[in-house]
Amino acid sequence: MSSQLIVIALVITLACLFLKVPVFISIIAGAGVYFFAEPAVSTHLIVQRTLSGMQSVPLLAVPFFVYSGVLMNYAGVTQRIMDFCNVLTADMWGGLAQVNILLSTLMGGLSGSSLADAAMEAKMLVPEMRQKGMSNEFSSVVTAFSSSITPLIPPGIGMILYGSIGNVSIGQLFMSGLVVGIVLCAAMMLLTAVIAKKRGYKPEASYKKGGRSQALGASLKRAVLPLCLPVIIIGGIRLGIFTPTEAGAVAVVYSIILGFIYGKLNRRNMVVALKETLVTTGSVMLIVGAASALAWILTKEQIPQALTSAMVNTIGNKYIFLIAVNVFLLIVGMFIEGNAATIVLVPLLIPIARAYGINDIQFAFVFIFNMAIGAISPPMGTIMFVTCGVTKCKIKDFLKESIPYFALMLAVLLLITYVPATTTAIIDLFY
């Protein structure tokens, strides 16, 4: 009876997600079937398990980092970092396209939200890119794919969720994510330069002898304080000065200080930022709570143990398992929101990965990277739809233009999957 109920619960959840029912309601609808139909389980437990899923100390870092990111935007940080990126990439083929990628990488450490990053850059940079002669579909693709770097740069919300659910060090995830994010950024900038040169998208500016150094120094001076935030977060956690949750509070205080230093933050902005944070955090926490209830059902029925046993007995090679899990996660990421997938699947997959002897940090980024690809993939890629919604780019044109970038993402995914040092070398060095 229990196994049948679990199947029904999962089918209902997936059906609701396909019908674009809100993620929270979809998961609760599926979990509710089990709680109300299983006689051995009290119906009151659905409320208890939903609320207990939200009562995790590490998850307190989410509203803190979201709030600090919003405050940074109101403090005028985005423009300062964009100016810095403009000077850095001035002599690169692709001009503003390179600025777009580098800005996403640097802003990832401040906002932590790929959707917010995509929407911001679609509004700020795409119109200017089109004015420089770049096609709308190219500009949209670069914006969407560069936003996929954001979840990899600390303090990405995906890393916080994964660490708290999988009992994996969030500090180590942050440090490793910085390396993975830089690798993806460099690869994406190289691909963009090749495409730009072929299409004649010239560098943004050229400097006379010594002019670039002067411009770089001036722009760095304006951007250095915001760029220190990821260093403070990672350094503080590594040195044991504060926990990841406390790091979120430090980020908020630091953002407020910067806002007052730059003279662009006032009481009204802080209130508006707080409202935006409540909306964002509320939606994340509702999903977390609902998914926690579903995860409890799966754990109670020993689904992770059954899956682990079945996988190990069926697939004797960890490399084949990694291929299988990549294909599975890519498909899941196309249909299910990343945070929801993390909460439901991580408790199922981590025991299997550990049974094969796969490093926790490596597997974490296999998972997170797949979710990042899913967010820009049809049919339900949220970043793709947000970007195209702002830029008015047709989905078919977007997909045609995005083929080389999808190929790049898959190449980096294979690098993470089969070269563990990509994610673990920096951990071995500092821990």
Tokens (6 digits) for 7: 């199947």
| pLDDT tens per residue, range 17-42 | 777 777 778 888 888 888 888 777 77
What residue has token string 């780019």? 393
Helix (H, G, I), strand (E, B) or coil at 206: coil
How sure is the predictor about 263, in pLDDT bands with cuts at 50, 70 and 90?
Answer: confident
pTM of the full predicted structure? Answer: 0.81
Higher pLDDT, 1 or 6: 6
Among 118, 137, 128, which residue's Cα sits nearest to residue 95?
Answer: 128
pLDDT in tens, 319-332: 999 998 999 888 88
Q: Can you say how many angstroms the Cα of residue 299 is from the centroid of all Cα atoms in its chain?
A: 26
Tell me the per-residue pLDDT of 168-225, one tens digit each, with 9 for 90 and over. 988 899 899 989 999 999 999 999 999 999 988 888 666 555 566 777 788 888 888 8
What mean pLDDT, rounded, does the chain reach?
Answer: 83
- The CA R_g of the chain, rounded to the nearest whole Å, is 22
* The pLDDT value given to residue 121: 79
Amino acid sitting at position 263? G
Residue 267 confidence (pLDDT) above 70: yes
Over the stretch 386-403, which tens digit does the pLDDT of each residue have? 888 888 888 889 999 999
262: confidence class by pLDDT, cuts 50, 70, 90:
confident
Top mean pLDDT of 251-255, 360-364, 427-431 is at: 360-364
